Homo-oligomer: A and B are copies of this chain.
Amino acid sequence: MTSQLLPWPEIQQVLIDQSLTVISDRSQLDKLSLDYFHFSPILDHQLREKRGNLVVRPQTEAEVILVAQTCVNYRIPLTVRGAGTGNYGQCIPLDGGIILDLSQLNQILELKPGFIRAEPGVKMATIDKKSQQIGWELRMAPSTYRTATIGGFIGGGSVGMGSVNYGLISDRGNVQALRIVTLEDTPQIIELRGDETQAVIHSYGTNGIITQLEIPLAPVYPWAELIVTFDDFSQAINFGQALSESSGIVKKQVAIHTAAIAQYFVALKDYLSPKKDFALLMVSEYDLEAVKALIQEYSGKITYLKNAEEASKHNSLLEFNWNHTTLLARSIDPSLTYLQVFYWTVEKVEQLYQYFGDEVMIHLEFIRVDGKVIPAGLPLVHFTTEERLNEIIAYHQNQGTGIANPHVYTIEEGGSGHTNPEQLAFKKQVDPYGLMNPGKMKAWSI
């Protein structure tokens, strides 16, 4: 049955009778049914009309269980939502139903050196603010981390600043435990530890409702922020690789942008030039002297340098990287879209740069994959047609790069790129009726 045929007035009353916060206001429903899928013209076309029927905003795990039970009883599709900062349509309800907004499940339960236990709705920047007081911070965070929730990042995210050190959120060790509520006939609470959490990480909320989580933290450094310009693209990308591989230099963020992207960073216009490729960096203040020597070696020019204290008074350069690059570019030219590419080597970057020119504007983010730092990236694409976009993707794949295609909304075709038998098996256990974010796990739908 589709959600439209469910007895919604009755369901709403059941939820209200249980003292749950229920939102049925049209404009709120519109807002809370969406994320940033519209970065993709393909997804925009497919998803823009999708809406949930009701939003429920629990305050406690007990309330989550009540919602879960109601969903099972009525066979209601349930889509979990953090702050809705994803770009793959992770939290778009394909078949209506209940949107479970976890933003009020936002308590930090335990914080100690190297460790935090929290509810999923805590904003990532809030974690940093609290944990930095005891000398620790998140191992990684996306450019949206001022609004993004930690649960949303674990459920739908993958990498961010810090990934040059700690890799992907799914790398063993980066999530220590997840506590979830299931959608079984009688919803259960399950605590997953260590490798068991892989069944839930990056599963778009198809495998249980995260109600608590444990993650390890990273030691705080005073992060200086730098903009460096280069006359030569090859020098710029090789600098990025070299900095990322400099064992004696502690860094958190290494992004390289082709010169054409400068036009979209209006707030940085005093530090950029339309003809110069550039790096946006966060490095340890303690290693600034070494960083400067490396910059000199690659003929870079520092146009912006703020020590950690100064940087904290301004918008972080983080907010020009990752998918904030795309956000800012699209605010100037809404016809732009993007890709997510694992280039593996700077030689491959160079080759694709030469081939596509400014049709595909290179934006690199260096991340650690299997212990080695590689150039990944979110290049900006001048969108013309879906056919041409697919051609561009196919060319990238034929050249041996990996594409996490941001123009599809299933887990398998998008972020992870492959079927995960462990996630499928786990879904059979925790969501036997297939109510959780239906349509997102392709292996289930088939």
Contacts and interface: CB of A to CB of B under 8 A. Distances in A.
A249 B371 CA distance: 10
A115 interface: yes
A289 B171 contact: no
Kindly report how many copies of this chain are found in the complex they form together.
2
A289 B165 contact: no
Interface stretch (A22-30, A87-95, A143-151, A239-247): A239-247
A176 B291 CA distance: 11
A367 B162 CA distance: 21
A372 interface: yes
A193 interface: yes
A339 interface: no
Nearest to A220: B219
Contact of A165 (B193, B244, B247, B286): B247
Nearest to A169: B248
A194 interface: yes
A266 interface: no
A159 to B, nearest CB: 11
Contact of A167 (B167, B216, B247): B247
Contacts of A371: 244-247, 372-373
A291 to B, nearest CB: 8
Interface in A138-181: 139, 165-168, 171-174, 176
Given A221-B114, A247-B368, A216 B286 contact: yes
Nearest to A289: B194
Nearest to A285: B114
B173 A287 contact: yes
A442 B293 CA distance: 29
B135 A249 contact: no
A294 interface: yes
A378 to B, nearest CB: 20
A290 interface: yes
A244 B368 CA distance: 12
Given A114-B221, A373-B371, A195 B247 contact: no
B246 A171 contact: yes
A219 B216 contact: no
Contacts of A294: 172
A368 B368 CA distance: 14
Contacts of A248: 139, 166-167, 171-174, 216
A284 interface: yes
A168 B247 CA distance: 8
Contact of A194 (B139, B247, B293): B293
Interface of A: 114-115, 135, 139, 165-168, 171-174, 176, 193-195, 216-217, 219, 221-222, 244-250, 284-287, 289-294, 368, 370-373
29 contacts: A114-B221, A114-B285, A114-B286, A115-B286, A135-B135, A135-B219, A166-B248, A167-B247, A171-B246, A171-B248, A172-B249, A172-B293, A172-B294, A173-B246, A173-B249, A173-B287, A174-B247, A194-B289, A194-B292, A194-B293, A216-B284, A216-B286, A217-B286, A219-B219, A244-B371, A245-B370, A247-B370, A247-B371, A372-B372
